[in-house]
Amino acid sequence: MLDAELLKKELAPHGQEHLVRFWGELSEAEREQLCADVRAVDVAEVVEYFRRTQETSRTDQQKLDDRMKPIPPHIHGSAVRSGPREIAAYEAEGLLQVSRGKVGVLLMAGGQGTRLGVTYPKGMYDVGLPSHKTLYQLQAERILRLEELAYSRTGRRGSVAWYIMTSEATMEPTLRFFEQHAYFGLDRRNVVVFEQGLLPCFTFDGKIILDGKNRLSKAPDGNGGLYRALREEKVLDDMERRGIEYLHAHAVDNILVKVADPVFIGYCIKKGADCGAKVVEKTNPTEAVGVVCEVDGRFQVVEYSEITPMTAERCNNDGRLTFSAGSICNHFFTRQFLRHVADRHERKLRLHVAKKKIPYVDASGHRVVPDKPNGIKMEKFVFDVFPFSERFVTWEVDRTEEFSPVKNADSTGKDCPATARNDLFALHRRYLELAGGMVTETEEDFVCEISPLVSYAGENLEGSVADAKLRSPIVIWAEGEVPASNGTVNGTAGYINEIHAYA
């Protein structure tokens, strides 16, 4: 027998007894659902979280500006400013660790993709490349190619474990998608899909919102929910069993992402880092991107909205922005660091607040979809663990080579499928030119796609395209890949094909 009084007693000290106000109208099954829903939440903890959000929003902006310092140069490496020998040494170290099976990837794929406006996981999104490969497929194939590269360089075959963090909404469709596509050729034992947690939504005055008479309103706990999920879903134990020491964590929506990037991983290892951030140079002071910087001797990401325009515009003698290390949700962690954070610091992570229109049941029991924000969602951010790092480093990369996220619908013209597609075409065209291919056309919409199974980052192309005249559209497939289109395929040397028409 379920007892409303008991539940009320548990909730009352936290000011949440309103959650049982429809008890009298619920069937036995619905009461059970409500109890389960409430008990899945640590009410004391989340109410404390809400209290903390009220403090955070009162932080003194000016004070933060005064305390910020740029990243010291000795821990701020750069792919752009390092010589080829240095880069090669980092890459060799990264590939060695891949071949030893010490590298894992943490893919953050639990977001709701509201700005893009899709009802399925963003990883399943097809930006409209000639191959129609989805973001998940591109990333899977980069892992496959990297394993091959590591093998050819070291003579040792290691695999990369791929940990995919999903959420309540993205878990099932993601699993189904991978099943349907036979894990894109990966060994399914090396793909671990797990689910992040949820946090209740609150009204502005601190009451948990009821989404139904027997159901709390909850939302994913942000990409910083990673750390709790790593512990609770036993992912850290899995890493330990497999002997994985180094993790590359990144967002699902960056079409150019170098998955398990051996250069970045090698750099972080050689620097003895426990935590690292890949960054791109912020060149425009008003770009709404967080910057990595030092505050009171620790590192953190400071959001554009947290600093004054004067600080954002500050420049060095060479004219570059002082705070230019733009965070791109792309990080390195040692397993040990992740364990430390998950066990010791996870509850202390900062909470970020988003005011949202959150459906609720009104006093008469009707579900209302509000037309203006009526409450908050709380999220943890993946980068908020930087202050816990004892050896933190940053690695700056060229944006055109590594960062083009799919955030918005095409109508915005920014960080959308069209820009992602074009950025990939431009990069792949550059790869072909560097390999000796001659592109005679100058048009901007030059279509050029290279299968990740052929080349991870521009390697392996010389033999096929050197001195060849190339014209758009070009699609380079690996041997055995079946073109998604039924366009005319003009076979050229070996497995390289030039496709002149595609669906």
Q: Minimum distance from CB of 85 to ligand UTP (Å)?
A: 34
CB neighbour class for 30 (10 Å; exposed up to 12, middle 13-18, buried from 19):
middle
235: contact with ligand UTP by CB under 6 A: no
Which residues have C-beta within 8 Å of that of residue 43, sequence separation ≥ 6? 10, 11, 14, 16, 208
Cα–Cα distance between 221 and 350 in angstroms, integer?
12
* Smallest gap from residue 394 Cβ to ligand UTP (A): 19
- Which two tokens mark 289? 């991107």
Binding status of residue 115 toward ligand UTP by CB under 6 A: yes
**Which x/- pattern, by CB under 6 A, does the window 395-414 give for ligand UTP?**
------------x-------
Cα 415 off chain centre by: 14
Smallest separation, CB 232 to ligand UTP (Å)? 15
Q: Which residues pair with 220 in a beta bridge?
A: 198
Closer CB to ligand UTP, 134 or 311, in the complex: 134
The reply to whether 223 sits near ligand UTP by the rule CB under 6 A is yes
- Three-class SS of residue 8? helix
Judge contact between 451 and 280, C-beta under 8 A.
Answer: no
Q: Judged by CB under 6 A, which stretch of 112-120, 303-311, 431-439, 483-491 contacts ligand UTP?
A: 112-120
Q: How far apart are CB 141 and ligand UTP at their closest, in Å?
A: 18
Shortest distance (Å) from residue 94 CB to ligand UTP: 22
Regarding 290 and contact with ligand UTP (CB under 6 A), the answer is no
Residue where the block lists tokens 């970045």 = 264
Closest CA to 221 of 354, 62, 84, 390: 354
Q: Choose the binding region for ligand UTP from 110-118, 145-153, 154-162, 297-305 (rule: CB under 6 A).
A: 110-118
Token pair recorded at residue 227: 């750390």
In whole angstroms, what is the distance from residue 94 CA to residue 344 CA?
Answer: 29
Distance set, CA 393 to CA 212, 322, 404 (Å): 46, 17, 22
If one asks whether residue 346 binds ligand UTP (CB under 6 A), the answer comes out as no
Closest CB to ligand UTP among residues 115, 500 = 115
Q: How far is the CB of 98 from ligand UTP (least distance, A)?
A: 23
Strand 469-470 vs strand 367-368: parallel, antiparallel, or unpaired?
unpaired
Instruction: Decide: is 252 part of the binding site for ligand UTP (CB under 6 A).
Output: yes
* Site for ligand UTP, residues 182 to 211, rule: CB under 6 A: 196
Shortest Cβ distance from residue 142 to ligand UTP (Å)? 16
User: Which one, of 167, 145, 170, 147, lies nearest residue 157 by Cα?
Assistant: 147
Of all residues in the shown chain, the one whose CB is closest to ligand UTP is 111
Specify the stretch interacting with ligand UTP by CB under 6 A; choose among 141-149, 251-259, 355-363, 391-399: 251-259
Residue 255, Cβ neighbours under 10 Å: how many? 22
* Residues 305-334: x where in contact with ligand UTP by CB under 6 A, - otherwise, as a string: ------------------------x-----
165 counts as binding ligand UTP under rule CB under 6 A: yes
Cβ atoms of residues 242 and 254 within 8 Å: no
* Contacts with ligand UTP, residue ranges (CB under 6 A): 108-115, 122, 165, 167, 196, 220, 222-223, 225, 251-253, 329, 407
